[in-house]
Amino acid sequence: MTLKSTVRMFGAFVLAAVLVSGVASAQSGTDEAWYKRFINSVGKTLFFCAWPTDTFDHLELNDVELKPNGADVTVRLYGNSWLEGKLWTDVVVEIRGGDVKHLRWGRYNALIPPGTTLTKMGEVLDQMNEDYKRQQNTQPVAVLCLSNRTADSVVYSLPTEGVSSQTLAAGQTWMFWHAGPAGFTVSFRDAKSFGSQKSTFVKGILQGSKPASCDATMIYDFVANDQRIGLTPRTWIPGTEDPFKPHLLRGSEEGKWVCADGYKWASPDDVNDTTCISNDTGLLGVSLQIDPGDSYPKIVGVRAGGPASRASVPVGSYLVEVNGQSMRGLSIDDVVSRTRGQVGTAVRIGIMVPGGDQVQLLNLRRE
Q: What is the per-residue pLDDT across 9-37, written as a single tens digit (0 to 9) for each?
A: 333 333 333 332 223 233 333 456 666 67
In contact, 103 and 46? CB cutoff 8 Å: yes
Q: What share of the chain is helix, strand, coil (3-state, %, to 5)?
A: 20, 40, 40
- With a CB cutoff of 8 Å and minimum separation 6, the contacts of 139 are 179, 180
* Residues 83 and 146 both lie in one domain: no
Chain centroid to Cα 284, Å, comes to: 38
* Residues 121 and 150 both lie in one domain: no
* Residues 131 and 154 both lie in one domain: no
Answer positive or negative: Cα dihedral of 82, 39, 73, 122. Answer: positive
Weakest mean pLDDT among 191-195, 203-207, 242-246: 191-195
In contact, 169 and 58? CB cutoff 8 Å: no
Residue 250 resides in a domain = no
Q: How confident is the model at residue 8 (pLDDT cuts 50, 70, 90)?
A: very low
In contact, 290 and 309? CB cutoff 8 Å: no
Residue 248 resides in a domain = no
* Residues 112 and 221 both lie in one domain: no
pLDDT at 87 exceeding the cut of 80: yes
DSSP 216: G
Last residue of a domain, one of 210, 242, 274: 242
DSSP secondary structure letters along 40-107:
HHTHHHHHHHH-TTSEEEEEEEEEEEEETTEEEEEEEEEEEETTTEEEEEEEEEEEETTEEEEEEEEE
Residue 65 resides in a domain = yes
Mean pLDDT of 328-350: 94
- With a CB cutoff of 8 Å and minimum separation 6, the contacts of 16 are none
Residue 254 resides in a domain = no
Mean pLDDT of 285-306: 92
pLDDT at 131 exceeding the cut of 80: no
CA distance 193 to 92: 37
CA distance 361 to 349: 6
Residue 281 resides in a domain = yes
- CATH number of the domain bearing residue 157: 2.60.40
* Residues 155 and 89 both lie in one domain: no
CA distance 187 to 24: 31
Most confident range, picked from 102-116, 161-175, 194-208 = 161-175
CA distance 219 to 241: 15
Domain containing 206 equals: 141-242
Enter the pTM of the model: 0.59
In contact, 67 and 52? CB cutoff 8 Å: no
CA distance 144 to 16: 34
Last residue of a domain, one of 108, 137, 166: 137
pLDDT of residue 139: 67
Task: Please state the domain count of the chain.
Answer: 3
Last residue of a domain, one of 212, 242, 272: 242
